[in-house]
Structure 1
Amino acid sequence: MVELPGQIRRMSGGISQLVEQICGFSRKCLFRVLSMGPLPIHLAFIMDGNRRYAKKLGLEVGSGHKAGFPALMSMLQYCYELGIKYVTIYAFSIDNFNRRPEEVQYLMELMLEKIKSLLEKESFAHEYGIRVYFIGNLALLSDQVRAAAEEVMKVTAKNSKVVLLVCVAYNSTDEILQAVKKSCMNKLGDRDVERIQLVDIEGNMQMSVAPDPDILIRSSGETRLSNFLLWQTGNTQLFSPDALWPEIGLRHLVWAILNFQRSHSYLEKKKKQL
């Protein structure tokens, strides 16, 4: 008896669904074991290696960034399933505007597409109750991208389960500079205060909406911070897997958390000494 193509498709779909259920159950068991130890409250990611991934596979410029998006979605899902409250991603540096115009244009178009997808009712932001912040000098973005980012922040403002911070048109020196400027402006006319205090600057940092990261994961084996969260990562554990960003997966996240748990007591003691 010859099986019909429709039947084959249904069988294939059923098998895929079964495999997905098994993977989901296995991941749930793994996360339960991990949760027996201390878990990070805030994870930050530098998504490095997209261009090298495209070059490695002989793909066109920008294809590596597109290939990296599913990796980002998977990583966000793992973090939220683990119960990690804050996730920060380095999406686009101010320095990236110096890249070739066609690459910048492609990245802006891709960013606009993905930002708009966050406004859809079935998006992961609504599914997980995520509040989204866009951190950076948004005035440097195109009008369309900036308007879409502001709309997402407005629409998700009432979500409170988890927080996603997207650093775009961002670098740390610019964030610090803007915080100092705001602190000075706030002190104008205040004759009782002779100088700017540390608390003033920290309160005006855009990243003040989240605690400092516990773990910073940078893919592709690089150990540089690249002007990312310099103010906030003084006691952050750095993890740098060799995998390029589109290749990053669950095992890398698990290793990062295990390393964090192994040194957690030491890091806590260091924080108390400050």
Structure 2
Amino acid sequence: MVTVMGKIQSFIPDLFSGFLCFLRGIMFHVLRHGPMPKHIAFIMDGNRRFSRRHNMKLGGGHRVGYHTLISTLQYCYEMGIKYVTVYAFSIDNFKRKPDEVEEMMSLMIEKIEEFLQKGSVISKYNMRINFWGNLKLLKEPVRLAAEKAMAATAANSGPVLSICVAYTLTDEITHAINEACKEKYACREEEEQEEEEDRAISVDDIEKYLYTEGCPDPDILIRTSGETRLSNFLLLQTAHCHLQNPYALWPEFSLWHLIWAVLNYQRVYPYLEKIKKSK
């Protein structure tokens, strides 16, 4: 009798989980009848406030936020969203207390290793990982971990996760202009014979060397915790996307917030398309 009851009790959570998955599939099927975003970007704000609110030790909110990221990735890819980009660490974040920066870097190495393990969301969806930013600013162990993840997933043909680390738009622009100038003026003798306008740096020249080159611009940018600043994040790439600022802190961000974001995008989609075509 005890054995039978034990089996029933262990079966109930699996049954409930299966029902939630079925219900989620129905909701996503309904959503896909409207225009769906190809790319969603997230500024994962509010991890430290979550830690303070719940009296967690240093880095506790970021660890909970990692699980939120994994769930959000799964929901996005189940919806059919091909690209997800997250703002993980700004260049400005290096100004924080050294022990906090060190904790975040250690957590990043730990989670990158988890990404590469068999059975992770990366292997499940055959995902490709990008790390965008000035990786030279990272300490060697972090940089090597990021490079390892990019190399290990480079041939994957599934969805794309781009992680912005040691990133700001101003740094990205500086990098792009420098690279464009190197290419433009590589052969000075030939350049001297060209017209002045041919030697000028164009928008196309800069775009070719952005970290995000080859990736479509975001359709939705979500910054959690109710903040309304973009904090130097993808300012060029988000010129025509839909900005949303839910009040939930990042560790509190849920499936329902994501569904609401997509519904709001679908509501304004005709206007967004009109704006894009007028440019």
Smaller-chain TM-score bracket: over 0.9
1:45 aligns with 2:45: no
Work out the CA distance in 2 between the residues paired with 1:48 and 1:134: 19
1:208 aligns with 2:210: no
Partner residue, 1:126? 123
The 5 Å alignment of 1:170-189 reads 170-188=167-185, 189=187
Contact 2:133 2:166 in 1 (8 A): yes
User: What is the aligned counterpart of 1:147 among 124, 144, 147?
Assistant: 144
**Residues 230-264 of structure 1, C-alpha deviation per residue, up to 9 Å, x if partnerless?**
11111011111110010000111111101110111
1:17 aligns with 2:14: yes
Work out the CA distance in 1 between the residues paired with 2:232 and 2:5: 54
1:69 aligns with 2:69: no
- Deviation (angstroms), 1:15: 1.2
Aligned length: 271
- Deviation (angstroms), 1:123: 1.8
Structure 1 counterpart of 2:95, one-letter code: N
Structure 2 counterpart of 1:65, one-letter code: H
**Residues 89-134 of structure 1, C-alpha deviation per residue, up to 9 Å, x if partnerless?**
0011111111111111110110000011122122211110111100
- Deviation (angstroms), 1:11: 3.5
1:89 aligns with 2:86: yes
Structure 1 counterpart of 2:75, one-letter code: Y
Work out the CA distance in 1 between the residues paired with 2:9 and 2:87: 37
Work out the CA distance in 2 between the residues paired with 1:125 and 1:107: 21
Work out the CA distance in 1 between the residues paired with 2:172 and 2:199: 23
Partner residue, 1:228? 233
User: What is the aligned counterpart of 2:275 among 257, 270, 273?
Assistant: 270
- Deviation (angstroms), 1:208: 1.2
1:116 aligns with 2:113: yes
Structure 1 stretches (4+) deviating beyond 3 angstroms? none
Partner residue, 1:195? 200
Work out the CA distance in 2 between the residues paired with 1:13 and 1:99: 46
Work out the CA distance in 2 between the residues paired with 1:26 and 1:267: 30
Work out the CA distance in 2 between the residues paired with 1:149 and 1:119: 11
Work out the CA distance in 2 between the residues paired with 1:257 and 1:87: 13
Report the RMSD for the aligned CA atoms in angstroms.
1.3
Contact 2:184 2:199 in 1 (8 A): no
TM-score with structure 2 setting the length: 0.94
Describe the shift of the 1:139–1:13 C-alpha distance in structure 2 as closer, same or farther (beyond 3 A). Answer: farther
User: What is the aligned counterpart of 1:250 among 251, 255, 265?
Assistant: 255
Structure 2 counterpart of 1:271, one-letter code: K
Work out the CA distance in 2 between the residues paired with 1:200 and 1:71: 37
Q: Secondary structure at the match of 1:45?
A: strand
- Deviation (angstroms), 1:16: 1.1
- Deviation (angstroms), 1:7: 5.4
Q: Secondary structure at the match of 1:207?
A: coil
1:80 aligns with 2:80: no
- Deviation (angstroms), 1:138: 0.6
- Deviation (angstroms), 1:12: 3.4
Contact 2:116 2:149 in 1 (8 A): yes
Contact 2:39 2:81 in 1 (8 A): yes
1:26 aligns with 2:23: yes
Work out the CA distance in 2 between the residues paired with 1:141 and 1:126: 26
1:107 aligns with 2:104: yes
TM-score with structure 1 setting the length: 0.96
Work out the CA distance in 1 between the residues paired with 2:13 and 2:78: 21
**Residues 35-62 of structure 1, C-alpha deviation per residue, up to 9 Å, x if partnerless?**
0000000000000000000111111121
Structure 1 counterpart of 2:184, one-letter code: K
Work out the CA distance in 2 between the residues paired with 1:246 and 1:131: 24
Unmatched runs of 5 consecutive residues or more in structure 1:
none
